[in-house]
């Protein structure tokens, strides 16, 4: 049974980009929450605001209006140093392009977030081996990304994202660069993480076939949360 503890909440969250004299509103009053242990999909057409929302969720960008609460604390009150610490220790990032360091081995790539967290080398290496085995690449520890297939690179990226035991994973089109068979394998890995470890996962995707794997789908259209018919959804958190 999924936890009801809320770890993320947006209240009328807005994001506008200012390009000279032109204002470009991207998120237009988003209300949403995500509970611990949920597997949530963020879906919408290109330009709907999915990537902007993910960047704000990952503390890589800041809203221009509204409120963002993380574990009950408002993010705007956090210092830059604390935000950097949260990104490293609380959030696991998985990107479409893998973002592995080509000059590092598989083990070293998995260890990288733990290096920034100043975890001792012996513990880092043991954790890297454990995670590589979990994603079925324990035999590839000394290889480099250029020696791996796309699917193997994404498995290593997932292992790296899990290295600091984050509160939640953010995945941005994680199968976008993979063939259908490999995509199915990677999605299966996400499902296993969610099912077996109750990992909280937020995944941006444009693929409607993936709707069935999510506990819940947040649909965006023109910077707003909408229902399946495209009608805007609003939530009055004052009444919750």
The string of pLDDT tens digits covering residues 54-109 is 999 999 999 999 999 998 899 998 999 999 988 988 899 998 888 999 999 999 99
Measured in whole angstroms, how far is the alpha carbon of residue 3 from the centre of its chain?
A: 19
Find the angle CA(60)-CA(66)-CA(226) to the nearest 5 degrees: 90
pLDDT of residue 237: 54
CA distances (Å), origin 170, targets 54, 94, 139, 229: 7, 6, 26, 26
- Tens digits of per-residue pLDDT, 137-151? 999 999 999 999 999
What 3-state DSSP class applies to 206? coil
- Determine if the pTM surpasses 0.85: yes
What 3-state DSSP class applies to 190? helix
In the chain the domains, ranked by start, together with CATH numbers, are 1-90+198-235 (3.40.50.300)
Per DSSP bridges, beta strands 200-204 and 168-172 are parallel
Helix (H) or strand (E) holding 53: helix 50-57
pLDDT of residue 97: 86
Identify the CA nearest to 65 among candidates 26, 123, 110, 118: 26
Say whether pLDDT at 39 is over 90. yes
């Amino acid at each position: 049974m999924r936890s009801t503890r809320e770890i993320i909440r947006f209240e009328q969250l807005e994001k506008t980009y200012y390009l000279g004299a032109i204002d470009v509103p991207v998120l237009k009053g988003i209300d949403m929450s995500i509970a611990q242990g949920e597997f949530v999909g963020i879906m919408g057409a290109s330009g709907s605001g999915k990537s902007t929302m993910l960047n704000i969720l990952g503390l890589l960008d800041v809203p221009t209006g509204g409120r963002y609460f993380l574990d009950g604390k408002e993010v705007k009150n956090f210092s830059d140093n604390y935000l950097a610490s949260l990104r490293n220790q609380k959030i696991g990032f998985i990107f479409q392009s893998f973002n592995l360091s080509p000059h590092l081995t598989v083990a070293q790539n998995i260890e990288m977030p733990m290096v920034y967290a100043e975890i001792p080398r012996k513990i880092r290496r043991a954790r890297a081996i454990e995670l590589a085995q979990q994603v079925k690449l324990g035999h590839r520890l000394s290889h480099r990304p250029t020696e791996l297939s796309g699917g193997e690179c994404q498995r290593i990226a997932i292992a790296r994202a899990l290295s600091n035991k984050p509160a939640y994973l953010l995945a941005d089109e994680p199968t976008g660069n993979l063939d259908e068979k490999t995509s199915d394998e990677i999605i299966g890995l996400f499902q296993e993480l969610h099912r077996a470890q109750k990992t909280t996962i937020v995944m941006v995707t444009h693929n409607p076939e993936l709707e069935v794997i999510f506990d819940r789908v947040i649909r965006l259209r023109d910077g707003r949360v909408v229902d399946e018919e495209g009608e805007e959804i609003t939530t009055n958190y004052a009444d919750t």
